[in-house]
Amino acid sequence: MDDSDSPVTMTRRRLLQAAAGASAFLATPATAFAAAPAGFDAWRDGFEAKARARGISDQTYRSVMGRIEPDMSVFQKMRKQPEFHEQIWQYINRRVSDWRLIAGKEALRKHQSLFARIEKDFGVERGTLLALWGVESAYGDPLVQQNHMRPVFPSLAALAWREPRRRTYWETELINALKIVQRGWSTPTEMRGSWAGAMGHTQWMPEVWLNVGFDYDGDGRVSPFGRPDDALGSTARYLVKRGKYHRNEHWGYEVRAPGGAANGNRSYAAWASAGVTRADGRPFPHPNASAKLWTPVQGGPSFLLGPNFYSVRSYNPSMNYALAICHLGDRILGAGPFIQPFPGSERALTLAEVQEVQTRLTKAGFDTGGTDGRVGNDTMKAVKDFQQKVGLPADGYAGLKVLARLRGG
């Protein structure tokens, strides 16, 4: 972990990095809770004093925590995350998928006025928010909420009770969740999320809900559920306040850089003077803005990254995640794939091809969890099992080679 473990300084996603990626949250179905182990009731009774000292009323505590049983499966989730070894191009292809492009364009059409309002109020590009929304909750798909999310209070209670590394953090997040109920913003029944407690359209932790979330749709409460206004408006606010997002600047550009190009933070004009040009041949629109040069893989595409790339990275401390979000946002708005391919990469499968992979795997006895063209952990596990059976490198990637083998090629 890069930053302090303090609940104040820890970003929402730095915690989740230690726990799991968002894609794992969307692909892991909720499981039944185990019976409360010995010692939990005593802890719960003792924790009430801590909650009361933080402003939680007796009524709120007892109504939420009085009969709660801890979801002990969270510890198995922490220990046994699915192991898939993705190269960067595979990681990006899975997130910048045909399904997300199609659904993202439809989400923009449906919520055009909301994104225009957010751009006016916060200066955050619509593509960035669309991509975050698409990756974090499949654009608020209710099936994700219904089938892959679990009640957060049993999860947070288990973590606050028995997770030794960051117990203070989990205790604080449990109290934050209780504050949300006490304010009347939500109910324990509605508050379903990842096993680590991230909720709603853009996967807020309770701390973010309390301290960054605000009532953007004017209905009198703050909520990451239901209409996406609060979630998207508040996420834009997060990027500005915590990510230092710059109004009217793009995240960066794919570039062509001469060998031995210098590192460091320079203006786009200085980079251009050093021979670095946009891969599409267009001029840099803000020559005085600053950027850093990054080449993720030798021989692959290079990028000049501005402050807004790192604003997205504040949401999840992964360079690959931030690049996937930024690229997905551009693609939804009409841009093409990267001009310079990654070494050894394949093109991403079309929606129909992904569905064909899922259908053929299912018929062959490998459970993909559905055939909707969305690749989650169920599909990746099915692919990995198939690869192991037929002697392909078992990386879990549903690509052209797997499709060809499934077709008998």
CATH fold of the domain at 12-82+149-224: Helicase, Ruva Protein; domain 3 (1.10.8)
Tokens 């600047």 correspond to: 249
List, in order, residues 6 or more apart from 308 with CB less than 8 Å away. 125, 128, 239, 243, 245, 246, 249, 250, 251, 252
Low-confidence ranges of the chain (pLDDT < 70): 1-36, 80-84, 260-261, 409
Which residues does residue 150 pair with via DSSP β-bridges, in sequence order?
193
Looking at residue 80, what is its pLDDT? Answer: 61
Question: Of the candidates 255, 173, 260, 180, which has an alpha carbon nearest to the alpha carbon of residue 213?
Answer: 180
Q: What is the rounded distance in angstroms from the CA atom of residue 178 to the CA atom of residue 176?
A: 5
CA distance 39 to 46: 11
Phi (first) and psi of residue 327, to 5 degrees? -70, -40
List the domain boundaries for the chain.
12-82+149-224, 252-305, 351-406
Burial of 362 (0-12, 13-18, 19+ CB in 10 A): middle
pLDDT score at 358: 97
Note the pLDDT of residue 9.
Answer: 31
Are 224 and 244 in contact, with CB atoms under 8 Å apart?
A: no
Pairing of the two strands 192-193 and 150-151: antiparallel
Helix residue spans in 163-243 (DSSP H): 167-182, 206-211, 229-241
The pLDDT score that the predictor gives to residue 329 is: 98
Order of strands, edge to edge, in the sheet holding 277-278?
265-267, 290-294, 302-305, 252-256, 277-278
Is there a contact between 306 and 250 (Cβ–Cβ < 8 Å)?
A: yes
pLDDT at 35: 53
User: 327-385 pLDDT, tens per residue?
Assistant: 999 999 999 999 999 999 999 999 999 999 999 999 999 999 999 999 988 999 999 99
Q: Which residue has the tokens 């060998």?
A: 259
Instruction: Compute and round to an integer the Cα radius of gyration of the chain.
Output: 22
**Shortest CA distance to 126 belongs to which of 136, 134, 116?**
116
Task: Provide the pLDDT for residue 362.
Answer: 96
Which pLDDT score, from 0 to 100, does residue 263 have?
78
pLDDT digits (tens, 9 = 90+) for 249-301: 999 999 999 876 677 899 999 999 999 999 999 999 999 999 999 999 999 99
